[in-house]
Amino acid sequence: MVFSYGRVFTAACALMGTAAAVTPLEVNGKDFVNSKTGDRFQIIGVDYQPGGQSAFTSKKDPLSQPAACYRDAALMQRLGVNTIRVYNLEPSLDHDECASIFNAAGIYMILDVNSPYSTGSLNRAKPWTSYNSGYYEQVFGVIEAFKSFDNVLGFFAGNEVINEDAVYSTPAYVRAVVRDMKEYIAKQADRSIPVGYSAADIRDILMDTATYFECNLKNSTSSRADFFGLNSYSWCGDASYKSSGYDVLTEDFSNATLPVFFSEYGCNEVKPRTFTEVQALYGEDMTQAFSGGLVYEWTEEDNKYGLVNVNNTDTITTLIDYDNLQKQFNKIDMDRIQSSNKSQTSIDPPTCAASLITSGDFYNSWDLPATPSKVSDYIKNGLPDANKGKVVTVSSTAIPQKVYDYTGKEITGVSYKVLAGDETAGPGSSSNSSSTTSSSSGSSSTTSNPASMNNAPMALGGVASIFMLVASLL
Ligand SMILES: *[C@@H]1O[C@H](CO)[C@@H](O)[C@H](O)[C@H]1NC(C)=O
Ligand SMILES: *[C@@H]1O[C@H](CO)[C@@H](O)[C@H](O)[C@H]1NC(C)=O
Ligand SMILES: *[C@@H]1O[C@H](CO)[C@@H](O)[C@H](O)[C@H]1NC(C)=O
Ligand SMILES: *[C@@H]1O[C@H](CO)[C@@H](O)[C@H](O)[C@H]1NC(C)=O
Ligand SMILES: *[C@@H]1O[C@H](CO)[C@@H](O)[C@H](O)[C@H]1NC(C)=O
């Protein structure tokens, strides 16, 4: 209904150069760059999984609830975020309004194609049992739902699939998923949307994992990953560049030939979080190696990593971590991190060879599994009966929900802003809302924390493993 109108309208606007939409990004060497201006793009992001894992059902996922998307996009613009990562998506739902909301807000999206359903992800212990057309209905379904949105920065083919519980050949299956996704996008989408992998910070195999996806395979060029995400919780409290091991990561990735970023960061062992790592991540030492990162995570859940607390559908509270993060984001030198550097963009990946793999336990062959024939048909002809997403028009609007800060003061004037075409959200760029002095009374509404399965946070590294258990597989 509205959708076709929205598409025509948007197409017309695009011709006039006034569409309220971001400019698509592309990969150039180890940088994400703006496809029009060539400016380098660094991710200033948050991980978006409101309600936790258990909120995902066939009727509801994070991008199918527009009222929450308007509210969250407004508060993210205010925070200074330019990218979200969304984990569990159900392809059959209507995502058009939420995707359009973030698009017009100047916020990019990195989308995981896997879901918690049993056929929705690769089984790391027996990948050959799940590498089939049923799995690809999920994977290609997510691509169909989002491929027409300019603010899709990329898709994650997998999250922490390769770990101590994975079998020896699992990397080859994940690389095959990257290949199949890229071939699907090449045939079925209007632009070349990047595909990458998100790794757990398991130092023993981290560099082998990166190398495995990064190297160039002469007989399967499409299987090379376009970017590499790392879930890293090694900076806790007031750590330093050295004590956190960030210096080692920077050195390790200094010769990377694809964009590398923290797909999750924000250790919460010391509270409140002050996010001093932001100055390191976007500082001079690290920006040559890293393209920014995404803080885990937007909403407060049982595992206590939230920046905001959704009290109920009418009320939301920005936590002290939100304010602390905003202060850090506001100190980022945007001009410096956006400037491009020829030696970053004119680099060639190494050719895959067993000698590149350093650990004897890591798979050192690239004999990828053949694409199942039904999956090849999908690639050639498109996924049958796919729910194809379409841009719809959205407008700037005040946020109807009550917003409080962590001290209980009401924040007034929070509004969702449609940016001018080609504009991107970012630190200090928007929202002029302020805290009033009126205190929020001992309100009668009860706090209902969204249910979550993301259980207790654990020692370093544990977060990653739990997350992997919950999010990437069963
Ligand atoms: C990066 O490349 C330089 C120059 O080839 C080399 O000296 C250095 O050891 C490499 N660093 C890593 C971590 O591989
Ligand atoms: C450009 O990138 C190279 C390699 O990452 C780095 O050594 C150099 O300092 C950078 N130059 C500038 C001007 O940032
Ligand atoms: C492609 O090349 C890799 C690396 O040389 C090799 O392991 C693999 O068997 C080759 N695959 C095919 C189908 O030839
Ligand atoms: C923000 O609000 C203040 C006070 O209402 C106003 O003076 C200022 O012009 C506003 N700034 C912007 C950028 O809208
Ligand atoms: C909302 O949640 C915050 C943070 O948990 C809490 O401090 C506040 O009292 C809650 N407000 C309401 C109205 O329930």
**What digits encode the pLDDT tens for the residues 369-382?**
999 999 999 999 99
What residues are annotated to the active site?
A: 160, 264
- Residues of the chain with pLDDT > 90: what percent? 80
pLDDT of 442 reads 33
Residue written as token pair 């850090």: 328
32 burial (CB, 10 Å; 0-12 / 13-18 / 19+) is buried
What is the structure's pLDDT at 54?
75
Nearest to 130 by CA among 176, 91, 92, 94: 176
65-108 confidence digits (pLDDT tens): 999 999 999 999 999 999 999 999 999 999 999 999 999 999 99
Give the closest ligand to the alpha carbon of residue 430: 4
Which residues are near ligand 5 (CB < 6 Å)? 309, 311, 315, 317, 443, 445, 447
Ligand 2 pocket check for 341: Cβ under 6 Å:
yes
Q: Give domain status of residue 460, yes or no.
A: no
* In a domain? residue 403: no
Indicate whether 425 belongs to any domain: no
Asked whether the CA dihedral 196, 338, 152, 35 is positive or negative, the reply is negative
Structural domain range at position 104? 19-381
Asked whether residue 126 carries a pLDDT value surpassing 60, the answer given is yes
Residue nearest to atom 3 of ligand 1 (CA): 255
Mean pLDDT in residue range 145-168: 95
Answer yes or no: is pLDDT of 295 > 80: yes
434 found inside a domain: no
- Ligand 1 close to Cβ of residue 350 (< 6 A): no
Give the chain's mean pLDDT: 88
Q: Is the CB of 288 under 6 A from ligand 2?
A: yes
Q: What is the pLDDT of residue 447?
A: 28
β-strand pairing of 409-412 with 40-41: unpaired
Question: Measuring from atom 5 of ligand 1, which residue has the nearest CA?
Answer: 255
Dist. CA 429 → ligand 4 center (Å): 13
How many domains, in total, are found in the chain?
Answer: 1
Which tens digit of pLDDT belongs to each residue from 246-287? 999 999 999 999 999 999 999 999 999 999 999 999 999 999
Residue 399 belongs to a domain: no
- Take atom 12 of ligand 2 and give the residue whose Cα is closest: 341
Using one digit for the tens of pLDDT, what is the confidence trace for 413-440?
999 999 998 899 999 864 445 654 443 3
CA distances from residue 454 to 36, 109, 298 in whole angstroms, order as listed:
40, 22, 13
Q: Is residue 473 domain-resident?
A: no
Give distance in angstroms: CA of 385 to centre of ligand 3.
34
Whether 451 maps to a domain, the answer reads: no
| Confidence at 393, pLDDT banded by 50, 70, 90 | very high
Q: What is the pTM for the complete model shown?
A: 0.87
387 in a structural domain: no
Q: Which atom of ligand 5 is nearest to the CA of 446?
A: 14
* CATH number assigned to the domain comprising residue 131: 3.20.20.80
Rounded Cα distance between 369 and 355, Å, is 21
Cα of 212 to ligand 3 centre, how many Å?
13
Q: Is the CB of residue 358 below 6 angstroms from any atom belonging to ligand 1?
A: no
CA distance 214 to 175: 10
- Report phi then psi at 153, rounded to 5: -75, -35
